[in-house]
Amino acid sequence: DADVTQTPRNRITKTGKRIMLECSQTKGHDRMYWYRQDPGLGLRLIYYSFDVKDINKGEISDGYSVSRQAQAKFSLSLESAIPNQTALYFCATSEGTGGVDGYTFGSGTRLTVV
């Protein structure tokens, strides 16, 4: 099994629908992150969580919410999806001691909003 698992891998949804992207990890890391990737823009941070009770907005959190259900689970929700939220979404984890080992990424969820 992968260290960081994202579900679903692909999703097409309609404008206005609520959708949840899920992430689970077996690394035992405290810190988890949600990024979106758009062509030519790189990865931009949506939300991050340093532990179950510590959740923080990233640079592009508008239109998104998150839930940290357990150390191993971090979900991203789009309350009312819009077409410009069409992107590749990545979940990542890191250790809680400065992150010298960098991040471990999931395989991504490709979301299309029509």
Partner 1 sequence: AQSVTQLGSHVSVSEGALVLLRCNYSSSVPPYLFWYVQYPNQGLQLLLKYTTGATLVKGINGFEAEFKKSETSFHLTKPSAHMSDAAEYFCAVSGSGGSNYKLTFGKGTLLTVNP
64 in Cβ contact with 55 (< 8 Å): no
Out of 43, 52, 55, 60, which residue is the one contacting partner 1 (CB under 8 A)? Answer: 43
Per CB under 8 A, does 29 bind partner 1?
no
3-state secondary structure of 96: coil
Q: Which of 38, 99, 105, 102 is nearest to 74 (CA)?
A: 105
Instruction: Name 61's bridge partners.
Output: none
Closest CA relative to residue 81, chosen from 25, 31, 36, 42: 36
- 107 belongs to the binding site for partner 1 (CB under 8 A): yes
Spacing of C-alpha 109 from chain mean position: 9
Question: If binding is defined by CB under 8 A, does position 47 make contact with partner 1?
Answer: no
The residue within the footprint of partner 1, chosen from 45, 52, 55, 60 (CB under 8 A), is 45
Q: Nearest distance from residue 95's CB to partner 1, in Å? A: 9
Residue with tokens 């998150």: 66
Q: Which stretch binds partner 1 (CB under 8 A): 13-21, 40-48, 62-70, 71-79?
A: 40-48
Neighbours of 28 (CB within 10 A): 10
Out of 22, 94, 111, 113, name the contact with partner 1 by CB under 8 A. 94
Residues that bind partner 1 (CB under 8 A): 4, 31, 33, 35, 40-45, 48, 50, 58, 90, 92, 94, 98-103, 105-108
